Amino acid sequence: MAPPPAEPPRRRRPALGGLPRLALLLPTLVITALCFVIPLGLIAVYSFGTVNEVNFDVYFGWTTQNYHDFTSTLYLHTLARSVFLSLSTTLSCAVLGFIFAYYISRQPPRAQQLLLVAVIVPFWTSFIVRTYAWVDLLQNLGPIDRFARALGLHGHIDILYTPYSIAIGILYSYLPLMILPIYVSLERIDPALYDAAADLGATPFRQFRRVVLPHAVPGLIAGIIIVGVPALGEYVIPEILGGGKTLMAGNLLADQFLETGNYPFGSALAVTVMVVLMLLLFLLRRAQPAVEAQ
């Protein structure tokens, strides 16, 4: 028998057949450093500038006025309302999304693909067209209203143009975003694990808690972030389904850039939102080891 081959000299193994690891990072660097961080820097600089309201020139005078303007009670009230609406909608989305993702993950592979496609296909119709479809659905004298009245409801459902219809619209638009990451996490659970747990006498609830939940956590967190944060900045849905009666943070922000032309103030708003959310992320990461250990 030949002697075993000598060990190759110990050095850090490249991640993929010879490519230095930095090369793997390059695409990300280009996309983030060049096309994201730099524009962000521009926004940060703008937030300290002033705008000429007549011709929309932006001057850089290093003022903090924009941030002061932001703290008026008017805006804080709007922000609070947005946060509450987004948060509650995100949580509902998480519950529904989890149920559906779990159900998909327990199907045979063919069925899984079919269900995934069934979830995505409606979203190839154009977001605006779908949202206006909800106007038709939710309006008084619309199909749901008539159905409810047929079941005995007195009066009308009065859902359209209220915060509830905004919530439904957001829930609807973001549900696939919640389902997909959770599905991806749950899909890798080996079905044998369920059988093993059952064989060991675990109750269905226990199986769920010990097998499913731990695997679902990364996907859930991803889903909540993917849904919750953009929901906060959403302005199209509140406008179409809210009847212009519910001002959300997203409307406020978008207006600065699209309507008023007050770029410095809008930038200050954006920077504040970003800073707050990054802080949240930081805290979340601190808490994560504790969550994962469980």
Q: Which of residues 103-132 bind other proteins (CB under 8 A)?
A: 103-104, 106, 109-110, 112-113, 115-130, 132
CB of 174 to other proteins, least distance (A): 12
For helices 143-150 and 127-138, give the axis angle rounded to 10 degrees: 30
CA dihedral 253, 258, 260, 261 (to 10 degrees): 100
> Binding other proteins by CB under 8 A: which of 74, 91, 153, 291?
74
CB of 90 to other proteins, least distance (A): 13
> Binding other proteins by CB under 8 A: which of 83, 87, 148, 277?
277
Only segment of 47-55, 60-68, 84-92, 146-154 that touches other proteins (CB under 8 A)? 47-55
Residue 62 or 285 with smaller CB distance to other proteins: 285
Bridge-based pairing state of the strands 58-59 and 50-51: antiparallel
Q: Binding to other proteins by residue 148, rule CB under 8 A?
A: no
**Rg, the chain, Cα only:** 25
Q: Which residue has the tokens 């944060």?
A: 229
Residues 150-169 that bind other proteins (CB under 8 A): 158, 160-161
Q: Binding to other proteins by residue 139, rule CB under 8 A?
A: yes
CB of 53 to other proteins, least distance (A): 4
Q: Binding to other proteins by residue 55, rule CB under 8 A?
A: yes
- Smallest CA-to-CA distance from 233 within 39, 50, 90, 72 is with 90
Q: Binding to other proteins by residue 141, rule CB under 8 A?
A: yes
Q: Binding to other proteins by residue 193, rule CB under 8 A?
A: no
Task: Give the C-alpha separation, 251 to 150, whole Å.
Answer: 37
For other proteins, how many residues bind (rule: CB under 8 A)?
Answer: 126
CB of 194 to other proteins, least distance (A): 6
Question: What are the beta bridge partners of residue 50?
Answer: 59
> Binding other proteins by CB under 8 A: which of 91, 200, 213, 278?
278
Asked if 216 and 98 touch (Cβ cutoff 8 Å), the reply is yes
CA dihedral 163, 168, 173, 177 (to 10 degrees): 110
CB of 83 to other proteins, least distance (A): 13
> Binding other proteins by CB under 8 A: which of 63, 137, 164, 272?
137
Residue 84 or 132 with smaller CB distance to other proteins: 132
Three-class secondary structure assignment of 134-169: HHHHHCCCCHHHHHHHHCCCCCCCCCCCCHHHHHHH
- Smallest CA-to-CA distance from 117 within 197, 32, 179, 186 is with 179
Q: Binding to other proteins by residue 77, rule CB under 8 A?
A: yes
Q: Binding to other proteins by residue 14, rule CB under 8 A?
A: yes
- 63 burial type by CB count under 10 A (0-12 exposed, 13-18 middle, 19+ buried): middle
Residues 194-253 that bind other proteins (CB under 8 A): 194-195, 198, 204, 207-208, 215, 218-219, 222, 225-226, 229-230, 233, 235-236, 239, 243-245, 247, 250-253
Three-class secondary structure of residue 59 per DSSP? strand
Question: What does the DSSP 8-state code read for residue 101?
Answer: H
Residue 1 or 188 with smaller CB distance to other proteins: 188
Q: Binding to other proteins by residue 273, rule CB under 8 A?
A: yes
Q: Binding to other proteins by residue 272, rule CB under 8 A?
A: no
Task: Give the C-alpha separation, 268 to 45, whole Å.
Answer: 9
